[in-house]
Amino acid sequence: MNDADLGDNIDERIGQLEQSKNPRSSEKRFANDVAHLDPSRWWFASSAFPMIAGTLGPVASAFSICALVRPWRQHYPPGTDITTAAFEPDPKWSDPRLIQTFVLFTIPHTPHVLIIVNAIQLAIAIISNVFLLLNMARRVRFSLAQPITIVGWYMSAICLIALNATAAGPLVIEPAEEYIFSQAFYYGMFAAILYFLTASLMVVTVYGAATSHYAKDFQLTTAQRTLMLQTILFLCYLLVGALVFSTIESWSYLDAVYWAQVTLFTVGFGDFAAASPLGRALLIPYALVGVISLGLVIGSIRSLVLERGRRRLDARMVEKKRRQLIRTMTRKGKDEILKPIHPDTNDTSASAASSPSLPGTELARREEEFNLMRKIQHQASTRRRWMAMSVSFSSWLVLWLVGAKVFQECERPYQNWSYFEGFYFAFVTLTTIGYGDRTPVSNSGKAFFVFWSLLALPTMTVMISNAGDTVVKAVRDATLELGNITILPGERGFRKDLMSVLHRLTCGFLFHPTDEDSDEDSDGEDDALPPGFLSNAHRIRREENDDDDNDEESDETEAYSTVLDRETSRAPPPFSPEPKDSQARPSPRDRQTTTTNNNTNTTRRRRPFSRVRDPTSALPASRADYHFLLISEIAAVRRHAKEKPARRYTFAEWAWYLKLIGEDESSSATHRKARPHIHSKKKAKKAAKKRRRNGVVDEENAEHTEAECPDEDKWSWVGSQSPLMGSQEECEWILEKLTEKLRDELDVVRGEELERKSTMDRERDLADERKGRDEVDELLRS
C-alpha cells in the first residue's frame, strides 16, 4: 500500500516534484526516507555484499599465499608418520604429462608451472583487492574499480581451478596410495571458491547500480569502509606471525599458520605449542595484540552489519506488515478508522451511528491511527528479531553439523574418526573450549580448520548478538516477572503482577485487564505492596521519581509560560508576517509592566527547554517568541537524539512537533485515507495518468480536496508517507524538520530586512538625485 499514487515510479514522482517552482516546498513535507519501499534484496546488494566481498577477498588472497609457499604433493608411504612426509617437487613445463594436458610446446629448464601460474593469479588478485579498497575509500571511481576487481577475481578463480583440476587428474603420481596432497593444495581450492564467490557478489552489486536501484557507489558508512582494511591488517599479522614462529620453532610454515589461527582464536588445542624460550617470550605480545585485533574485527562485524541492517530490515518488515494490515482491514470493511473526519459533512454522525466505538473528532481518530501504527511497528520488530535469531542459529547449526562431517572424512584415514567425534570436535572449537583431546592431523583437516574457523567467527558473533535481543531478553524479562510474583514484588503489586503473568501464559484467555485496573490510584497500589522495608523502599523511590519529574516539569513549564503569557489571543499562523501597525505592538510602558509582573511571579531563571507539548495549545503570537520556541525544542530534541535506545515519542509529542512545523493534527485538510498497495506498477501508472488527464480524484476525498494542499502532501499515520516509516530515527526526523522550519522562518525575516533596506536605499538614492539636480539648477541660474 502506498499514499499519493503509490503505483507511480518513485523516480518519476521525484522528477515531477523537482520541477516545481519552490524546490524546498515541493518536497514531501512529512515523508521519511524510502528505505521501506526498497526491497531487502537491493539493500543486500548495495551494502551487505560489498562488505562480505571486502572481508572475504583478502582472506582468499591470504589462502593464495599459503598455496604458493609449499609444493602441493607429499610422499606418504603406508605406515609412516604424516608429519614426516617429504614434499614432492611440482612438475615443470617440460614434463611430458603437462605437455599432453595443455598441448604446450617444450621449454626446458624453466621453473615450476604451479609457482608461475599461482604467482600470476596472486598478483592479479592483489591488484583486484587494492582497487576494491581504493573504491571503498572513494579514491577510485566505482565504474573503473569494479570491472578490474570482478575480472581479476574471476581470473584468479579460473587459474586456481585449472591448477587444482590438473594436479588432481593428469598429474597424479603412481602409485597413488603413496602420495597425498599437502595443505597448500587445499588452500588453493578454498581460495578458488572464495574468489568465485566474492566476484559473483560484486556482479550482483554492479547489476543493481547499473539498473538504477541505487547510486553507482557503495552504500556504506565510513566505519563500514574500514572493515576491509581491518581484515587485511589482521590477516597480515597472522601470516607474518606464523612466519616468525615457524622459523623459531622449526615448524612447517602452514603448520605455523594453523597454530596462529588456534592461538588468536583462543581455542588453544595444545597440539602445537612454543617450546623455546624465545618463542614463549614472543607469544605473550603476539597473542595480546592478536586477540585485541580480532576483537576489533568482531566488534566491527557486530556493530556495522547488525546495526546497519537492523534499521533497513525493520523498515521493510514494517512496510510489509502495514500493507498486509491495510489490505485485511479494507477487505473486511473495518477501515472506517482510516477515513479523515471532515467538519463540513455528516461523516461524524454517520460513523458514530454505524460504530459507536469510532472516535468523534479528527484528533482522536489520528491518535487511534497512530496507536495502530505503533502496534504494527512492535509486531514487525518482534518478528524481525526472532527471524534474525532463527536464521543466524540455523547458519551456525549448519556450520556445526556440516563441519563435523567434513572433519570426520578428513581424519578417518588417519585417526578413524566417527561422526560423533567430528561433532564433538566442532562443538569444542566453536565454543573455544579447546580441550585438545581431539585435533586434526591430516593436511586437509588443518587447512579446512583455518577456512572453517574464519567462517565460524562472524557466524558465531551474529548469533550471539541476535540472542541478546531475543533469548537473553526473554530470560531476563521472565526472571523479572518471576521476582515480581515471589520475593520482589513490583510497583504494581503482587496481585496485578500475577494476573499479568497468567494473562500472557494463557494467551489472553484469563484475567483480561480492565479499565478499572488501569485507572486505580496510587493508594490501591500502596496497599498491594508488601509490608516492611520493601514497601517503604518502593514508596520512597516512587515519591522521589515523582518529585524529580514534577520539578523538571515545573521548571520547564515556567520557562515556556513566559512565552505563552505574551499572547493576548489565539495566535495566528507563525509563518504569517508580524503586524506592522503600531497599535498591534505593546508600548514600552506595557512591556515594562509585563516584565515587572513576570519578575514578580517568577523566581526562577528562564530556561530554554520546554516539556509542555500540548497539541491543542496556541503557538506564540510574536515571531520572536516563536523562533525562541523552535530553538528550545531543537535543543531538547538534540538531547533526545543521544538517548540509547532511540526515543519513541507519544502521539501528543508528535502532534506538538508537527504543529510547530505547520501541520495541525486536528484538521483533516492534509490527511487522507491509507489505501491498499497496488502491486502492478504498470497498471497503476496508467490509472494515475488517466486520473490526472481527466481530472478525476479519489472518491473518498472528492468533496474535500483543497487547493492549498497538494495531493502529495496528504498523508496518513499508517501510509507510506508516514514519518514513522523509513530507516530514520524519530528524533532525527523531528530535528531535521524543526531545523528546516527555523531556517525558513529566518529566511523570511532576512528577506523582509533586505526588502526594507533596499527600499531605504532607493529613497536615499532618489533624495541624492534630487539634491544633485537642485545644485545643478542653482549653478545654471547663477
pLDDT of 304 strictly over 50: yes
d(CA 167, CA 111): 16
Identify the CA nearest to 385 among candidates 317, 301, 308: 317
Domain segments of the chain: what residues? 10-34+556-737, 39-219
Q: For cell 526516507, what's the residue? A: 33
Q: Which of 18-32, 622-636, 715-729 has the highest mean pLDDT?
A: 622-636
Q: Could you tell me which residues are beta bridge partners of residue 75?
A: 86, 179
CB 573 within 8 A of CB 662: yes
Predicted local confidence at residue 572, as pLDDT: 45
Compute the CA torsion angle 765, 769, 771, 773 (nearest 10 deg): 180
Predicted local confidence at residue 171, as pLDDT: 75
Count CB-CB contacts under 10 A for residue 737. Answer: 20
Alpha helix positions (H), 250-307: 253-264, 277-300
Predicted local confidence at residue 594, as pLDDT: 42
d(CA 190, CA 194): 6
| List of residues 6+ apart from 200 with CB closer than 8 A | none
pLDDT above 90 as % of the chain? 29
Q: What is the pLDDT of residues 237-296, one digit of tens each?
A: 999 999 999 999 999 999 999 999 999 999 999 999 999 999 999 999 999 999 999 988
pTM of the model: 0.72
Q: For cell 602452514, what's the residue? A: 254
DSSP string, 720-765: TT-TTSSSS-HHHHHHHHHHHHHHHHHHHHHHHHHHHHHHHHHHHH
The cell numbers describing 775, all together, are: 545644485
What CA–CA distances, in Å, run from 634 to 203, 615, 737, 743?
Answer: 44, 17, 10, 12
pLDDT confidence bin for 132, thresholds 50/70/90: very high
Q: What is the pLDDT averaged over residues 730-739?
A: 90
| List of residues 6+ apart from 433 with CB closer than 8 A | none
pLDDT mean across residues, the chain: 76
Burial letters 60-84, b for 16+ CB under 10 A, else e = bbbbbbbbbbbbbbbebeeeeeeee
pLDDT confidence bin for 57, thresholds 50/70/90: very high
What CA–CA distances, in Å, run from 209 to 43, 202, 212, 219, 315?
Answer: 11, 11, 5, 10, 21
pLDDT of 756 strictly over 50: yes
Q: What is the pLDDT averaged over residues 521-536?
A: 41
CB 647 within 8 A of CB 731: yes
Q: What is the pLDDT of residues 545-598, one digit of tens each?
A: 444 444 444 444 444 444 444 443 444 444 444 443 434 344 433 444 444 444
d(CA 661, CA 664): 9
Q: Could you tell me which residues are beta bridge partners of residue 671?
A: 715
Task: Please tell me the CATH code under which domain 39-219 is placed.
Answer: 1.20.140.150
DSSP state of 339: S
Q: What is the pLDDT of residues 395-419, one digit of tens each?
A: 999 999 999 999 999 999 999 999 9
Q: Which position has the higher pLDDT, 493 or 135? A: 135
Pairing relation of β-strands 86-88 and 179-181? Answer: unpaired
d(CA 307, CA 645): 12
User: Identity (one letter) of the amino acid at 100?
Assistant: Q
How remote is the C-alpha of 523 from its chain's centroid? 45
Q: What is the pLDDT of residues 203-239, one digit of tens each?
A: 999 999 898 888 887 766 677 778 888 999 999 999 9
DSSP state of 441: -
SS (H, E, C) 372-392: HHHHHHHHHHHHHHHHHHHHH
User: Identity (one letter) of the amino acid at 366?
Assistant: R
d(CA 782, CA 779): 5
d(CA 690, CA 695): 8
The cell numbers describing 419, all together, are: 561422526
**Coil vs helix vs strand at 75:** strand
